[in-house]
Amino acid sequence: MELGGWGVLIAVLGGAARVSVPYLFVSLGETLTERSGRVNLGLEGTLVLGAMSGYGVAYLSGSPWLGVLVAGSAGALLGLVHGLVCSLPRVNDVAVGIALFLLGTGLAFYLGKPFIQPTAPRLPHLELGAWSASPAVRAALEINALFIAGALLAPLLAWALFNTRWGLVLRTAGDNADAARALGYSVSAIRTASTTAGGFLAGVGGSFLSLYYPGTWNEGLSSGQGLMAIALVIFARWHPVHCFWVSLLFGGATALGPALQSIGITGHYYLLNAAPYVLTLILLILSSSPRQVLVGAPSELTISR
Amino acid sequence: MRLGAWAETAVITAAALVSSLALFGVFVALRGLSPVQVYLTLFQGAFGTRFSLEHTLTQAAPLMLTALCTALPARAGLLVIGGEGALVIGGVVTVLVGVSLAGAPPVLAIAAMCAAGALGGGLWIGAAGALRHWRGVNETISTLLLNYIAIALMNHLVTGPIRDFAQVLKPASWSVGESLMIGVLPGTSIHWGLAFGVAACLVTWVLMRHTTFGFGVDILGGNARAARMVGLPIGAMILATTMLGGAAAGLAGAVEVIAVHGFASASLAVGYGYTGILVAFLARQNPLAVVAVAVLLGGISASGGLLQRRFGLPDAATLVLQGLLFVAVLAANTLAGRFRIFRPRTV
């Protein structure tokens, strides 16, 4: 059955649900980190290290979920390093992020060499499209378990950030470090904990890349999704639920190139693949302002000042 | 100046180097290798023989230029990490100009190609500077995105509009031709790009150290509010530093084309831009120190092959070492100003 233009639409929607997962997890993690007043630009490295370690462990243990857990832990470890190094006086968190981007990628490539060939078990998914005879529809409606987890996590995080004591303390550290200190909290400890948690989520996002889509480990696996997710947080105004919607938008933009290719529009392949980067840049330009600080931006954040 | 400040920088950087080397030593020891052996091999692969030294200096040439792309805007307080993209754009523009100037006198054509490459890179990063000044767009994120856009643009061009179908192994652009390639330094196998890199660093040093412009940029980088109060042209300075930095990286792309490849292809984007960021930070944004640090890191990259052959270490081992170096150098920032002995005695 030929679906033509509808096929593109279905593929983009299905692709959005598939491709958005890494964006979603990284941006949720970065939202936590930035709400506490720090920026971690190293999440691209975290994503790649998560993808490698998750794949390696899933292959060696046979359990994809153990892989997800280890990927998250590896990410948390990188986040912890970032948090601790940035707690030292006079250390710039943006620069440390770039350093960890390099280190995380290097570690993943170094340790991941043996896992390029073998095949690890994949994460499970729900077949919501089983009713349809069209393979395109069925493929589009494959909903992965991590997508569902992320979709549930976004409102949960929003609730926790804005309605719990824990969330209030975290946001106070990000908006006014002196006030947090006056209340008797350690700002460094709060930020280190948020960066560690953010690293955990980014690592989980990485495991999705290697364990589900595209579903194998290789060195070209992530093409900047971790970095784009950081720009996405600005566009989502540091709100977890907005992160969910913006991730879907980015997922759709990323899926556009392959979708058009599947109906035979193969020209401009590389330009179409650049669509999400261009989209990010345009959104960044539109959502930035030369004069005032962005609405919703934590005021202690180095990157928005 | 400021012998104390120099000594302090040197001591702190050395401390960072030693601690990251120790960390990497633990790392290879976990693999059952002797750290001493690995370091000896690394040194041998980087500086041990005439051949390896020439290889190191060849690797260092583009690193000097891409490091300036981060170091120059950093003097004005901007964190630009778009050297990779500016290099790629510079390379592509160089090819376009070179191909269209076929038949022109080589000296003129080469000068035009270098100028075009620098201009391309300059406009590329300058755009991020302009967005920063007029729209408040964070330059770190915008230049990162521009890296990916530049590489996509290059891939698009070399697989379609400017593809040379005679190149069968990988998609590559038309070739600029043998007559428009620059040769090697007399008596060596190091191409002229090294001279370009050293010259650019010297010029930048003079600019920053001995001109009013450089002085103003340092004020802006030190305290933006003070710069605004004394009426410095902040917008012009942001534009100038980003454009000059981008021009340096664009020139690196031009050099890669006219000295190494002869055409544009994916082999332009092999990470010189990212290593350049590290060089800039290790050199603490000082153009003269960039020359030395670029040679050091060029050596680490150049020795990767030997480490791989002798110990079976993956080629990413040098990437791990670079990452550890980077983290250690940034963490060592916290030591700046802590040691009383480096301070000049005041009354």
Q: How confident is the model at residue B347 (pLDDT cuts 50, 70, 90)?
A: very low
Interatomic CA distance for residues B88 and B151, integer angstroms: 7
- A75-99 average pLDDT score: 94
Contacts (Cβ under 8 Å, ≥6 apart) of A144: A17, A18, A21, A123, A124, A125, A126, A208, A212, A213
Residues B148, A274: C-beta atoms closer than 8 Å: yes
Residues A250, A276 contacting (CB under 8 angstroms): yes
pLDDT greater than 70 at residue B343: no
Confidence at residue A3, expressed as pLDDT on a 0 to 100 scale: 58
Contacts (Cβ under 8 Å, ≥6 apart) of A206: A22, A46, A47, A48, A49, A50, A51, A52, A54, A71, A75, A222, A226
Scanning every residue of chain B, which has its alpha carbon at the shortest distance from the alpha carbon of A287? B137
Nearest by CB: A281 against B81, B145, B152: B145
Strand A142-144, strand A125-127: pairing: antiparallel
pLDDT greater than 60 at residue B1: no
Q: Which residues of A touch B155 (CB under 8 A)?
A: 270
Scanning every residue of chain B, which has its alpha carbon at the shortest distance from the alpha carbon of A101? B323
pLDDT greater than 50 at residue A1: no
The interaxial angle of helices A145-163 and A240-262, nearest 10 deg, is: 160
Nearest to B322 by CA among B305, B303, B293, B297: B297
Residues B142, B128 contacting (CB under 8 angstroms): yes
Residues 286 through 305 of chain A touching chain B, CB cutoff 8 Å: 288-291, 303-304
CA angle (A216 as vertex; A213, A218 as ends), nearest 5: 115
Residue B315: Cβ-neighbour burial (10 angstroms; 0-12, 13-18, 19+): middle
Q: How confident is the model at residue A75 (pLDDT cuts 50, 70, 90)?
A: very high
Confidence at residue A4, expressed as pLDDT on a 0 to 100 scale: 65
User: In this predicted model, what pLDDT tens digit does every residue of B262-299 receive, in sequence order?
Assistant: 999 999 999 999 999 999 998 989 999 999 999 999 99
Residues 123 through 182 of chain A touching chain B, CB cutoff 8 Å: none
Peptide bond into B62 cis (omega under 30): no
ipTM for the predicted complex: 0.89
Confidence at residue B100, expressed as pLDDT on a 0 to 100 scale: 93
Residue A290 three-state SS: coil
Confidence at residue A147, expressed as pLDDT on a 0 to 100 scale: 93
DSSP class per residue in A75-135: HHHHHHHHHHHHHSTT--HHHHHHHHHHHHHHHHHHHHGGGSSS-PPPPPEEETTTT-S-H
Confidence at residue B344, expressed as pLDDT on a 0 to 100 scale: 60
pLDDT greater than 90 at residue A223: no
Which residue do the tokens 């043998």 mark? B178
Residue B170 three-state SS: coil
Residues B125, B80 contacting (CB under 8 angstroms): yes
Residues A246, A111 contacting (CB under 8 angstroms): no
Nearest by CB: B322 against A102, A223, A274: A102
Interatomic CA distance for residues B191 and B261, integer angstroms: 12
Interatomic CA distance for residues A120 and A142, integer angstroms: 19
Percentage of chain B lying above the pLDDT 90 cut: 73
To test the contact with chain A by mutation, choose from B330, B333, B335, B338 the residue with the greatest count of A C-beta atoms within 10 A, namely: B330
Confidence at residue B340, expressed as pLDDT on a 0 to 100 scale: 65
Enumerate the β-bridge partners of residue A126.
Answer: A143
Q: Which of A55-59, B84-88, B115-119, B179-183 has the lowest mean pLDDT?
A: B179-183
CA distance to A146, A202, A203, B20, B76, per residue, from A152 (Å):
10, 16, 18, 41, 43
Measured in degrees and rounded to the nearest 5, phi and psi for residue A293 equal: -70, 145
Tokens of A151: 């979709």
pLDDT greater than 50 at residue B2: yes
Residues A288, A294 contacting (CB under 8 angstroms): yes
- A67-85 average pLDDT score: 97
Q: How many CA atoms lie within 13 A of A249 on its CB side?
A: 15
Confidence at residue A143, expressed as pLDDT on a 0 to 100 scale: 85
Nearest to A34 by CA among A222, A182, A201, A238: A238
Interatomic CA distance for residues B68 and B245, integer angstroms: 5
CA distance to A216, B47, B223, per residue, from A199 (Å):
21, 38, 32
Interatomic CA distance for residues A55 and A207, integer angstroms: 7
Is some CB atom of chain B closer than 8 A to the CB atom of A88? yes
Return the DSSP state at A294.
P
Query: Which string of b and e fits A10-22 if b means at least 16 CB within 10 Å?
Result: bbbbbbbbbbbbb
Q: Dmax of chain A from CA atoms? A: 67
Confidence at residue A170, expressed as pLDDT on a 0 to 100 scale: 95
Q: How confident is the model at residue A222 (pLDDT cuts 50, 70, 90)?
A: confident
* CA B345 distance to own-chain centroid: 37
User: Residue B108 is which amino acid?
Assistant: L
> How many other CB atoms are there within 10 angstroms of residue A196's CB atom?
22
pLDDT greater than 80 at residue A299: yes
- B1-16 average pLDDT score: 79
User: In this predicted model, what pLDDT tens digit does every residue of A110-121 receive, in sequence order?
Assistant: 999 889 888 888
pLDDT greater than 90 at residue B337: no
Expressed in angstroms, the distance from the first to the final Cα of chain B is 18
What are the CB-based long-range contacts (under 8 Å, 24+) for A267-275?
A: A267/B160, A268/B156, A268/B160, A269/B156, A269/B159, A270/B152, A270/B153, A270/B155, A270/B156, A270/B159, A271/B152, A271/B153, A271/B156, A273/A223, A273/B152, A274/B148, A274/B149, A274/B152, A274/B153, A274/B156
Confidence at residue B6, expressed as pLDDT on a 0 to 100 scale: 77
User: In this predicted model, what pLDDT tens digit does every residue of B100-133 receive, in sequence order?
Assistant: 998 889 999 999 999 999 999 999 999 999 999 9
Nearest by CB: A102 against B278, B333, B334: B278
